Amino acid sequence: MTRRTIILFVLTVGLLTLESAAAQTRQSVYTNLDDKHCRTLKSDVSEAGEYLGRCTGTAGYTLLVAEGDLRQNITVVTPQKVKHSLELWSTVSSAFSSLGPQAEWRVVKQKNKTTPVALIVRYNASEDSEHPEKTTSYLVVTKITSKEVCVTDRIRPGPNANEEARRLADEAATKPCLTEKH
């Protein structure tokens, strides 16, 4: 073998090892979104039913859960207090909606540091106006990078939806943001 072939072989094996190690370090951390575990910042029991709650996230992140006109949304707040609204009513569904009880954070753990790279939440939308009790339960994937926090994917119900959401979350960093529901 030539010296060049050996160098290419070593580099290829090294890159594959690094990719494998990076993939293995991704883990899930779960936090609560229900009002029993979140601090109520604003609550109006009138017909409009406005609510704003602050929910603990991970690694210094928090989630603001807002409800108005029977629709819910999440704003991701970074440790630096920068707010990123996910605009779920336009990126997922404009129908009446509610969030699932948990947020799944996809994180990378290196030494003693946890870095969130994505967020997965369940978003239940009443899209059938004749049968509002029937909901479509989407899994919503949000990328978290140093430059942006935004929805990249919405997964319709189906077999292996949770695994698909995790796979998409782990690939989300390079994906474009959804700007309106597709």
Query: Range with the lowest mean pLDDT among 17-31, 130-144, 146-160?
Result: 17-31
pLDDT at residue 100, rounded to an integer: 96
pLDDT tens for each residue of 1-30:
666 655 555 455 444 444 444 444 899 999
Burial (Cβ within 10 Å: 0-12, 13-18, ≥19) of residue 18: exposed
**Coil, strand, or helix at residue 97?**
strand
